[in-house]
Amino acid sequence: MRVVTNKRIRPRTQSRIRSIRMKPLTMTEIIRLEPRIKAILEAAKHDTRKNRALAYSVYKHQLQGLVGWGAEQKGLRTNEAYEATVTMLCDALKI
């Protein structure tokens, strides 16, 4: 026996559970979650290399395990956190 109702069956992509958009983290919040980021940005700020592209590459590599998809802290595994941190790195290196 089949029961007929007026409700449409929704495809899985239109489930009732909506993704929750969190507001982007500030740099203060990012550093609170991962204090090593502050040390890397401070080192970049005082870096005296003339080759800024090399300096950027070195510091960006150090940040990759701390922020973005490879971050240890779950709260830092976002594009927004990564972009904010890389922007701060560019500011620190003055590039």
Domain positions in the chain: 24-93
Task: Tell me the residue type at 93.
Answer: L
Rg (CA), the chain: 21
> What is the reported pLDDT for 23?
75
3-state helix, strand, coil in the chain (%, to 5): 55, 0, 45
Q: Where are the beta strands (DSSP E) in the chain?
A: none
Confidence grade of residue 17 (pLDDT, cut at 50, 70, 90)? very low
Tens of pLDDT, residues 46-86: 999 999 999 999 999 999 999 999 999 999 999 999 999 99
> What is the reported pLDDT for 46?
96
Instruction: Please state whether the predicted TM-score (pTM) of the whole model is above 0.85.
Output: no
Q: Say how far apart CA 65 and CA 72 lie, in whole Å.
A: 7
Of 9-13, 40-44, 87-91, the least confident: 9-13
